[in-house]
Amino acid sequence: MDEKRDNKMPGHVAIIMDGNGRWAKRKGLPRTLGHNAGVETLKEIVKYSDEIGIKILTVYAFSTENWNRPKEEVDYLIKYLLIEFLRKEIDELHKNNVTIKMLGDIEHIPSLTKNEINKAISLTRNNTGLKFNIALNYGGRGELVNALKDITKKVILGDINVESINEELISKHLYTAGDEDPDLIIRTGGEKRISNFLIWQSIYSELYFTDILWPDFKKECFADAISDYKNRSRRFGSLKDGGRIC
């Protein structure tokens, strides 16, 4: 079967990429090499997502809580690894019609990194293939706070009436504005929580947890997660079997 015509394929998959540090520790390697290995996995998953017809891929790259990690690790992730990824991969991503979008507060990212981010966004802005969202300096609660601040300002200015505030309006003020909510959220590394990730958008997302550490989560593992998703029944609060409750 041509997977791009498979109507059971999730349109939007989000991934919490967990386990880079533990992967490196188990091999007696520095944590930085675990992050390097994780980037190689990310490249494979982005390419495979495009091949099988996923419309949106969102990855949790760096949370607002990750600033509490050792400075050396934070600097490596933000000032080196992300820049290297964008510089090396952006031409290939652009050639494959992929759109880059950042979710999170990038205003407080170092200027050199922010410049690379803005170049990638600008270059791929008009592409029409896979939408690749990178959640960077992202937190779900912070996203909601920012959305409410924006809406409040518009109410004060008279641009919005309080009575017009609804779920649709709030969604339009989130980082994911214009994107469908994730159908499937995958977390690698063995933890079973979503850790402040897409908390508004994930109310009906299917959750898939695996003990596999992110650097080892190759496309075969991703295919297993997709297969598991396809075998689930998504009811969105209704009883689709005619009302049976047993």
Is pLDDT of 58 > 50?
yes
Tell whether domain 9-139+182-230 is in CATH 3.10.105.10: no
Mind listing the pLDDT tens digit for each residue in 71-124?
999 999 999 999 999 999 999 999 999 999 999 999 989 999 999 999 999 999
Active site residues: 18, 66
Q: Calculate mean pLDDT across residues 43-70.
A: 97
What letter does residue 80 receive in the DSSP assignment?
Answer: I
Q: Calculate mean pLDDT across residues 12-22.
A: 98
Q: CB burial class (10 A; 0-12, 13-18, 19+) of residue 207?
A: middle
Q: Which residues contact 26 (CB under 8 A, 6 or more apart)?
A: 213
pLDDT band for 239, please (50, 70, 90 cuts). low
Mind listing the pLDDT tens digit for each residue in 154-164?
999 999 999 99
What letter does residue 96 receive in the DSSP assignment?
Answer: T
Strands 206-209 and 184-187: parallel
The two tokens of residue 102 are: 């950042």
Give the residues across from 157 on adjacent strands.
none
Instruction: Give this prediction's pTM.
Output: 0.92
